[in-house]
Amino acid sequence: MTTETTENRPFEADVSRLLHMMVHSVYSDRDVFLRELVSNAADACEKLRYEAIASPALLGDDPRLAITIAADPEANTLAIADNGIGMSRDEMIEALGTIARSGTRGFMDRIAEVEGQDGAKRGAQLIGQFGVGFYSAFMVASKVEVVSRRAGASEAWVWASDGKGEYSVAPVALEEAPVRGTRVLLHLTDDAKSYAERWTLERIVKEQSGHVPVPITLVEKPGAEAASLSDGAALWTKSKSDISAQDYTDFYRSVAGQYDEPALTVHFRAEGRFEYTALAFIPGARPFDLFDADRKGRIKLYVKRVFITDDAELLPRYLRFVRGVVDSADLPLNVSREMIQDSPLLGAIKKGVTNRVISELAKLAEQDGEAFGKVWENFGAVIKEGLYEDFERREQLLGLARFKTTASGEGTRSLKDYVAVLRENQTAIYYIAGDDAARIASSPHLEGFRARGIEVLLLADPVDAFWVASGLDHEGKPFKSVTQGAADLGLIPLLDSDTPPPAEASAEVTALIAAIKETLAEDVADVRASDRLTDSAVCLIAAESGPDRQFERMLAAAGRIGSAAKPILEVNPRHAMIASLAATSDEAVKADVAHLLLDTARVLDGEKPTDANAFATRLGRLIARGLTAS
């Protein structure tokens, strides 16, 4: 290297402070330095591709653009080289000598001046609009050397700096420089030696830069044969007709980190005011983090095929199981590219991708019920979060929803199926919510509904108690809990036409109910005759207003309310035990049985007796009395 005309120059900004910020504040992950350097190399190749349209001679005898990563573990160095446009001395000083001055930005401005809006659109294909990514190299390097030769030029230059306040620019012999393009050589720090190892480089490139529009090869040590890391073609940019099912599966596995087959693939390009490409997958199996408390999505955001982040909220949280990528050429970025600005484009992308995923799920449900059933089995509990979070799409999500019901057997049914078999005079969609599917399926609250052939939704997911309490309806039919308020079943005929309608409670039973109400006044809000019970003696329900029993328990457990409200005890006036109890004159027995009936109702509702000792004592007295009487 020639040093006779080496020129040392100070950076044109407060480099010490800004480089400290770059290394310690702007980037949270040191791996991004390679992404930034590969991005710059891709920029250079894209610039040459454009300029060669007017000047084909710039490509010379090497028309194939490429990026090469060369490691030297022995020397502890890493080089990233491209055969793109390269830089002249002045361009090198301008691009590398000033923090936040971007050669790409200048190139875009020049295109816009020459060709107007169309030229600006071409420039939008380029990456690196802020000119600071290059300096992330100092996170892992004690010294950086950049050797560059502009395409068509007869001289080459080297830029060097330790990032501590100044840099040098000097001419370099042509035999030490690329025929055209740029080579960035990093002298790695002791704590960054892993970046000269093949497996580290392969992982980073495939994860963060595997889809830039330029092929990438890796030379793992001097003299080794180059290995291909990327063919320069992003899968999502290809026509769907050119992509096989296996291609989609392989890409899904790489982006999702799973080994199952995708249950659904959604691949589309949005055009119009905003343009972007989305490739999303519904997994065939539940991801391990499906129920993480932070509920983050896992869609990777790319800008012009360069990975930016997987933290952008590109889908609502109830679709967090979806895996894939979104690639936009227009999305505005901040200085680090790691935090996406709150922009109209991001909102448009989120809306468009969300609508498309939901519509494709609806199409799958219509065309292949079995396949959709598996999707719902895996992710239905999460999708239902959208029923109270996403008012705009609530009706669409209700159309997707599948439910276990008292009529579904081992399968599930849609609300469309439910509404199609509404009973005469039925004005609501009935449900029962709880935390145990088997228990709620055998709940006494269902007896009167079964007797009338009324289908009831069996809601056993924790989220169910929330969305049904949000006041929504379906086709004008409100959702009504069978454990809340009056059942109002009198107008719906019984299935067995020979069965007479329930008779009014006798005077003795009416008096018993009044006595039980007085005995349990501290524990229940009311005691009344029930028209929802046919076989069981008692059940507990919630008042007409306020939360149902399950939602109330969840709110109390979460500390959202001080304690649950007093329930209402419903008594089956036609039950033989109730009739016998009404006939006895032993008030002590009536009092004991009243408390036992309440505790029995609590047990049937999935709770425990409030006072286990008192429960056992009363039960013991009644057993002893029965044995004595016999």
Residues belonging to the binding site are 36, 40, 82, 87, 102-103, 129-134, 182, 337
3-state secondary structure of 506: coil
Q: Which amino acid is at 615?
A: F
In the block, tokens 């955001």 appear at: 301
- Closest-CA residue to 381 (of 416, 433, 446, 418): 433
Asked if 198 and 181 count as a contact pair (C-beta separation under 8 A), the reply is no
> Backbone phi, then psi, for 115, in 5-degree steps?
-120, 5
Structure tokens at 618: 């009363």
List C-alpha distances in Å: 368 to 3, 264, 361, 591. Answer: 71, 11, 10, 58
Residue list, annotated binding site for ATP: 36, 40, 82, 87, 102-103, 129-134, 182, 337
Q: Using alpha carbons only, give the angle 94, 18, 343 rounded to the nearest 5 degrees.
A: 85
- Closest-CA residue to 338 (of 530, 136, 166, 477): 136
Three-state SS for 124-165 is: CCCCCCCCCHHHHHHHCEEEEEEEEECCCCCCEEEEEECCCC
Q: In 75-94, which positions are buried (b, 16+ CB within 10 angstroms) versus exposed (e)?
A: ebbbbbbbbbbbbebebbbb
- Closest-CA residue to 161 (of 153, 170, 172): 170
Using CB atoms within 10 Å of the CB of residue 591, give its burial: 0 to 12 exposed, 13 to 18 middle, 19+ buried. Answer: middle
Long-range contacts of 51-56, Cβ-Cβ distance < 8 Å, separation of 24 or more = 51/85, 51/151, 55/152
In the block, tokens 């290059």 appear at: 134
Distance CA 223, CA 219 (A): 8
- Closest-CA residue to 609 (of 596, 590, 624, 592): 596
Distance CA 602, CA 376 (A): 32
Asked if 311 and 288 count as a contact pair (C-beta separation under 8 A), the reply is no
What distance separates the 2 farthest-apart alpha carbons in the chain? Answer: 120
